[in-house]
Structure 1
Amino acid sequence: MSDVLVIQNARLEGPGTIGDLLKADGFKIQTIFAKKEKIPKLNHAMVLVLGAPESANDDLKYLQNEIVLIQESVRAGVPVLGICLGSQLIAKALGARVYPGPKKEIGFYHDLIVEPKSKSHLFEGISSPFTVFHWHGDTFDIPDGAERLAYSDLYNQAFRYGSAVGVQFHLEVDRNIVRSWLENTTENINLPYIDPNKILSDIESEMPKIEKNMELFYKNFRSELGLTKV
């Protein structure tokens, strides 16, 4: 039996450093490639739903199945973490609107604000504003009954509803993941405010901040969501 179910929606978007942290803590991980593999019966300590270029609004059976899994997990009180598309699927599963944002965010950003009114400790120890890696164009409204945890000028960035946490940004990336996304993307990123060469040159200086924030967030997530092995 696995402790953590990872739903991978794109070949190049794996669990990255959060997978390493989970394994270091002794968690067993089951990874399902959602486009081709059936989602197993929920019997896990945690569900991790990863990103992809698709939209949560796309009429795709496997995305609909993920929404059902999220809803089942929330009802059962199983911790769920959604990253990028995963966060948008959580928002949609909870009845919130998902839609194109005002502009794409791609690269290292340093403008995420921890919601000062939040009672959550998920971002405890992380400076505000804090550094993340972005690669998204869609956004979401905060679901009814959910608590906003972080935001930026243009986007809601993180929220919690019961056992489910959605984060629009990527803290799980490592150096190789960022390079791979830039080298293999079929998306048009030739935009005036996006410089792939600068993103590449910033990797070495920015990645230690990302890694530190990931470690703190993961520690807080385990504590606040009561994540323990099956």
Structure 2
Amino acid sequence: MKNVLVIQNARLEGPGTIGELLQSDGFSMQTILAKKEKIPPLNHDLVLVLGAPESANDDLPYLKDEMVLIKEAAQKNIPALGICLGSQLMAKALGAQVYAGPKKEIGFYHNIIPDEKSSLFSGISSPFTVFHWHGDTFDIPPGAHRLAHSESYNQAFRYGTAVGLQFHLEVNSDIVQSWLDHTHEDLPKYISPSVIRSELDLHIGMVQSNMKAFYKNFKSEFGL
């Protein structure tokens, strides 16, 4: 049985759709609540690092531990997937800068443009639909390849067996609603929460479909 180490950085930012897909495929999942639990020794077939409101530049011991984990996984060629904050931690761990972007992206967007014909995005039309909730961005690490971008941001990269996604494909309706209900951000500065709620039924199915396609490609690419 393949086993997955899930690093959950925020109570409300669980693995969502990708967690359901992993469980349905019989993966054994070990979830670590990063703010409360220590990272175990890396004896896993896959590492999944999830998002949170914090910045990769925050001086927090558990975030530093996660970057050590990411570097170890990369050195051992263990597949790793970083989502949102996870991708920023991955970029920083691999030698790139993380910093505030020109504007926050929050809500459903149809703006992800693959840079090259990557097998990881096979079966997904371009530009494709995602859910965003981020203000920071990253440079592409030395030796990595940018896989996707939008007008204002790098959106995805690959470094060996490590893949970073700035955007959220893992979300479902419950997760999005929960984020909107509990956020401490002044959302109306960027987008009306009612707009996001009104778009849920219209767009969440496509986001989940894109997650399923990416997941299938990721598994195939890394022999999982």
Could you state the TM-score of these two structures normalised by the residue count of structure 1?
Answer: 0.96
Instruction: Please list the CA deviations of residues 19-76 of structure 1 after superposition, one character each: whole Å capped at 9, or x if unmatched.
Output: 0000010001000000110100000000000000000000000000000000000000
Give the partner amino acid of 2:175: I
After the TM superposition, which residues 1-230 of structure 1 pair with which residues of structure 2 at under 5 Å, given as runs? 3-115=3-115, 118=116, 120-191=118-189, 193-227=190-224
Q: Measure the CA separation in 2 of the matches of 1:150 and 1:45.
A: 25
Q: What SS does the aligned partner of 1:190 have? A: helix
Report if the CA contact (8 A) 1:8-1:49 is conserved: yes
Structure 2: unaligned runs, 5 residues or longer = none
Q: What SS does the aligned partner of 1:165 have? A: strand
Q: Measure the CA separation in 2 of the matches of 1:196 and 1:226.
A: 40
Q: Note the C-alpha offset of 1:187.
A: 1.5
Q: Measure the CA separation in 2 of the matches of 1:142 and 1:100.
A: 15
Instruction: Please list the CA deviations of residues 84-135 of structure 1 after superposition, one character each: whole Å capped at 9, or x if unmatched.
Output: 00000000000000000001110000011011xx353100110000000000
CA RMSD of aligned residues (A): 1.0
Give the partner amino acid of 1:195: S
Q: Note the C-alpha offset of 1:2.
A: 6.9
Structure 1: unaligned runs, 5 residues or longer = none
Q: Note the C-alpha offset of 1:14.
A: 0.2
Q: Measure the CA separation in 2 of the matches of 1:29 and 1:100.
A: 32
Q: What SS does the aligned partner of 2:126 have? A: coil
Give the partner amino acid of 2:23: K
Q: Note the C-alpha offset of 1:136.
A: 0.4
Q: Measure the CA separation in 1 of the matches of 2:2 and 2:67.
A: 21
Q: Measure the CA separation in 1 of the matches of 2:185 and 2:32.
A: 24
Q: What SS does the aligned partner of 2:53 have? A: coil
Misfit runs of 4+, over 6 Å: none
Q: What SS does the aligned partner of 1:180 have? A: helix
Report if the CA contact (8 A) 1:2-1:30 is conserved: no
Report if the CA contact (8 A) 1:91-1:141 is conserved: yes
Could you state the TM-score of these two structures normalised by the residue count of structure 2?
Answer: 0.98
Q: Measure the CA separation in 1 of the matches of 2:186 and 2:35.
A: 23
